[in-house]
Chain A
Amino acid sequence: MRTYIVKRIGISVIILLCVTFIIYGLMRALPQSYVETMAMQLSQAPGAKSFDEWMAQLNAQYGLDLPMPIGYVTWLGDFLTGNFGDSWKFNVPVITEFANTIGISFAMGGIAFVLSTVIAVPLGILAATHQYSKSDYIISALALAGISLPTFFFATLLKLIFSVGLGWFDLYGLMGRDFAQLDAVGQVLDMINHMIMPVVTLTVIQIGSLMRYTRTNMLEVLNADYIRTARTKGLPESKVIYKHAFRNTLIPLVTVIGGSLPGLFSGALITETLFMIPGTGYTSYQAMTGGDIPYTMFFLTFIAIITLLSNLLTDILYAVVDPRVRIS
């Protein structure tokens, strides 16, 4: 087991190096970078230096005059020593900006994840235990509809109905206009009010695949021999389903939970952008479209690390919950 984990970690590190190199190369290869835009702005100020001079100075300042591989090594060295640099777009240290935004993303992602699990798993089990019944068809159709629903369309519909039509929520943002005048409780309530639509969007988007996953796995388990044995023993159906079948369904669910970990940290890029929630998703979207290399590099590397870690964690957890895996 230990050698397995060590080997996995070793491979993960190599993969991580490749991934960060690819991302760094991509960012460096951007034809019109943030630096160029900034040099253009600076050179247009009255009495400023020429564009080329500004370019040279800014490139040197940001370490972009180095060749790509050397630049990568420099970046890697800085990253490993905890020097993440300053965000170009937000003008604060990368880590500060990230710390400011991660909380809100994590809260939203967490609530949505809990909500979707609580709704999806029982429905998935219901569909599996009543296969080919009316409720199965309805749940399957709803699950597929949830998967098929484009985030942006659903979010816009929500906005139209609840913001424009009913006026319950604001269209955008995390804080209302009178946020500063509210007391502490009011501020929290205001933020919660603003988070309802994004969380509903996230939940509806996630719920479909989770429901299907539960149903498929439950069906697989229900077809297993030990379930037939349990039934022939004369156990009541509820006991068969909740004690024998459901516990075994939990094993593949570990993969889903592990797989959704990076999502909790990376924030919902599209949803946050649609609702302009200042979480990591929206921030990184702005950084990426604005060519902010330090922030994007930090963010994408962070996600890659979390992805690898969660894969590792999933595999280990799998071995923990499923003795068959441990033996082989």
Chain B
Amino acid sequence: MSNDKNVKPADQAEEQEYSLNDDRRVRVLSPGALIAKRFFRNRLAVVGLVILVAMFVFSFIGGLVSPYGQDQTFSTTTQLNTQYAGITETSSLRYNAAPGAEFGALVQSSANTAINSGATSFERNGVSYTIESPASDLYVISSGGQVVAYASTNVVSVPSGSQALPFDFQIAAITAISNASATEDTGADAPEVTEDGTVVVEEGGDAAADAADAQAAGNTFTVDGQTYSFDDSGNVMDASGTIVAMVSPFVISASDGNTAIPDDLRTALLTAIEVDASEVDYTAADGSEHTYTITYDAYSRVYNVTETTSNMVYDRYASPSPEHWLGTDGNGMDMLTRLMYGGRVSLIIGFIVVFIAAGLGVIMGGISGYFGGWVDNLIMRIVDIFYCLPSMPIIIILGSAMDAMRLDPWVRMIYLMLILGFLSWPSIARLVRGQILSLREQEFMLATEATGISVPHRIIRHLIPNVMPQLIVSCTMSLGSTIIMEATLSFLGLGVKFPFASWGNIISDVNNAFVMTNYWFIWIPAGICLMLAVLGFNFVGDGLRDAFDPKMNR
């Protein structure tokens, strides 16, 4: 590759002023500039340099630009259906004994027989009972003129927090409501039923107005001189409109024993069942909105009420989106940000390891090459031992040892760098020694000796600079292999550990076959980054080798 073609005509015109054998006609380049020129002429090297610059910008500046942190987790809401309550319709008679009265199961069965056969009295254990039916589905059983129990399919329940109701009140309420429902009235305003079958309840409805409505419709009864009104959902209100009891054939029990079902929700659910609505929207007293779904299980004859709640969960393996360009990983962290920080870790580890290896290698190789003799022999045997040590197995053993010690991830990372650096110095030492051995014999070294320059000065100022080209090439190439080594270890779970990201441990997610097949955005970008970075180092290293070695570049 001669330079003649590249010389522009304009330059030639300028140079024609000099005579043919004038030195100034030859453009003299400094050695550095010459190397740079050769380097930039190599297309692969330039591509490698561009890749490297891009990777560095991505890793070191990208981390600053990214709006997210390395271990910032993201959450998302999911709709979760939880069983809230079960509603059972009472189809058989339920007996309630008066306070103090005995009305056991055997008597109940006799009463059942009597009621079913339409009898008005029966006898059990020598005691005679009479049955009255003041309303449909209500049977009042008395013995010796004393009411001992009643049987009904309606159940009287008290609002949460109230005291149990008097026995007389219960009978009166059931009587009134059963008779009223028989005449089919619609006095009080029931919860609103929307067209799609959703029942909407607003907290804090006008209770007094409801009571007034009920009274206007004649849905009242009187117990102990007090007048109570009721609506057609079976809510019994006193004069002030406060609900004192609920009468209904439906029994609601919360799935969770600790949950108290609010009265208005109860009303809403019962209304929903009556009108066959499947959904109930409910605004609780604290303003939170709930949605309940009612499904009827024909087998167990239970209306199941499930609450649809939205739960905050980690946004795991989210697909790429405008917020997360590469989605999120298994911990709900932004993948792109992890990738940037992972690059930072991988590159820094590569540099530190190579720095350690080069430092040790230059010192040992320099000493060995310069002094020769037994020192050289000793150091070279040490190098031989290191060459013979299977490094990958040793790193795996040490990695699992660090696993067993449960080292802090940060300390572990430092150890990892030291181990990798310590295991890779021998090749550099060998290279430096070889170079120095040949340089030592050259005249300029004889000159340094003659001028009385000290030994450290001779090594550092005159030998090392001559070794630099080879050293730089070797270091650049080993940067790539170190990064691969680190990534492989991290992939096996023996290198950089969570919470630190590294390209290797990002890819290690593929050990879960589901991630490998379904979430390409987790591991393919990390693999490509890793490959590009290593490729960049190798291209640049190769280009530098060619640039430094003029013999190769003919």
A residues near B, CB below 8 A? 11, 14-16, 18-19, 22-23, 26-27, 29-32, 132, 137, 140-141, 144-145, 147-153, 156-157, 159-160, 164, 171, 219, 223, 266, 269-270, 273, 284-285, 288-289, 291, 296, 299-300, 303-304, 307-308
CB-contacts of B489-543 with A (<8 A): 491-492, 504, 507, 510, 513, 516-517, 520, 523, 527, 530-531, 534-535, 537-539, 542
A137 and B44 contact, CB distance less than 8 A: yes
Contact call A164/B517, Cβ cutoff below 8 A: yes
B147 at the interface (CB under 8 A from A): no
B contact residues around A23 at 8 Å (CB): 389, 394
Name the B residues within 8 Å of A15 (CB-CB). Answer: 381, 384-385, 388
The answer to whether A307 touches B554, judged by C-beta atoms less than 8 angstroms apart, is no
Q: Which of B6-14, B128-136, B161-169, B395-403 contacts A (4 or more CB under 8 A)?
A: B395-403
Contacts of A14 in B (CB 8 A): 381
Contact B538 A164 (CB under 8 A): no
In the complex, what distance in Å separates the CA atom of A284 from the CA atom of B394?
11
In the bound complex, CA of A150 to CA of B495 (Å):
15
Q: Is B278 part of the binding interface, using a Cβ–Cβ cutoff of 8 Å?
A: no
A157 to B527, CA, bound (A): 9
Judging by beta carbons under 8 Å apart, are A160 and B516 in contact? yes
Interface size class of B (residues with CB under 8 A): 35 or more
Establish whether residues A150 and B531, one from each chain, have CB atoms under 8 Å apart when the complex forms: yes
| Residue pair B527, A153 in contact (C-beta under 8 Å) | yes
| Bound form: Cα–Cα A223–B552 in Å | 9
Contact with A along B257-281 (1 / 0, CB 8 A): 0000000000000000000000000
Q: Is A219 in contact with B405, judged by CB distance below 8 angstroms? A: no
Q: Which residues of B contact A26 (CB under 8 A)?
A: 394, 397-398
Does B404 lie at the interface of the complex (its beta carbon under 8 Å from any beta carbon of A)? yes
Given A30-B404, A171-B513, A300-B393, 19 more contacts at CB 8 Å?
A11-B381, A14-B381, A15-B385, A26-B397, A27-B397, A32-B405, A145-B535, A147-B534, A148-B484, A148-B534, A150-B534, A156-B507, A156-B510, A223-B554, A273-B492, A288-B393, A289-B400, A296-B393, A307-B388
A274 to B523, CA, bound (A): 15
A214 to B196, CA, bound (A): 78
Cβ A19 vs Cβ B534 within 8 A: no
State the CA gap A308–B388 with chains docked (Å).
Answer: 7
B390 near A: Cβ within 8 Å?
A: yes
The answer to whether the Cβ of B392 comes within 8 Å of any Cβ in the partner chain is: yes
- Cα–Cα distance between A307 and B384 once the two chains are bound (Å): 11
Kindly provide the distance from the CB of A89 to the nearest chain B CB, expressed in whole angstroms.
13
The 9 closest A-B pairs by CB, nearest first: A32-B404, A153-B527, A148-B534, A148-B535, A289-B400, A144-B538, A152-B491, A164-B517, A18-B385
CB distance from A280 to the nearest CB of B (A): 11
Of B393, B405, B530, the most chain A CB neighbours within 10 A belong to: B393
Can you sample 28 A-B contacts with CB below 8 Å?
A: A14-B381, A15-B385, A15-B388, A16-B388, A19-B385, A22-B389, A26-B397, A26-B398, A30-B400, A30-B404, A32-B401, A140-B542, A144-B538, A144-B539, A144-B542, A148-B534, A148-B537, A148-B538, A150-B530, A152-B504, A153-B507, A156-B510, A156-B523, A219-B552, A288-B397, A289-B396, A299-B393, A307-B390
Grouping DSSP codes into helix (H, G, I), strand (E, B) and loop, the A interface class, with mixed when no group exceeds half, is helix
A32 to B520 Cα, complex, angstroms: 37
A19 near B388: Cβ-Cβ < 8 Å: yes
Chain A residues in 8 Å Cβ range of B504 = 150, 152
Nearest A-chain residue to B508, judged by Cβ: A152
Q: Is the CB of B44 within 8 A of A140?
A: yes
- When the two chains form the complex, which single residue of B390, B404, B520, B542 contacts A304, counting CB atoms closer than 8 Å? B390
Q: Is the CB of B44 within 8 A of A31?
A: no
Collect the chain B residues with CB atoms within 8 Å of residue A296's CB: 393, 397
**A147-B538, A300-B390, A304-B390 known; A30+B401 contact, CB < 8 A:** yes
B25 on the A face (CB < 8 A): no
Instruction: Establish whether residues B531 and A269, one from each chain, have CB atoms under 8 Å apart when the complex forms.
Output: no
Complexed CA–CA distance, A289 and B398 (Å): 9
Contact residues in B for A160 (Cβ distance below 8 Å): 516-517, 520
Give the complex CA separation of A302 and B390 in angstroms: 10
Contact B535 A150 (CB under 8 A): no
Q: Which residues of A contact B507 (CB under 8 A)?
A: 152-153, 156
Quick check: A30 and B397 within 8 Å, CB to CB? yes
CB distance from B310 to the nearest CB of A (A): 34
CA distance A303 to B387 in the complex (A): 12
Q: In the complex, A24 Cα to B510 Cα: how many Å? A: 34
**What is the chain B residue whose CB lies nearest that of A152?**
B491
**Do B480 and A150 have beta carbons less than 8 Å apart?**
no
B242 at the binding interface (Cβ < 8 Å)? no
Q: Which residues of A contact B290 (CB under 8 A)?
A: none
Q: B457 near A: Cβ within 8 Å?
A: no
Looking at the assembled complex, report how far the CB atom of B374 sits from the nearest CB atom of chain A, in whole angstroms: 14
User: Which residues between 357 and 416 of chain B lie within 8 Å of chain A, taking CB atoms?
Assistant: 381, 384-385, 387-390, 392-394, 396-398, 400-401, 404-405
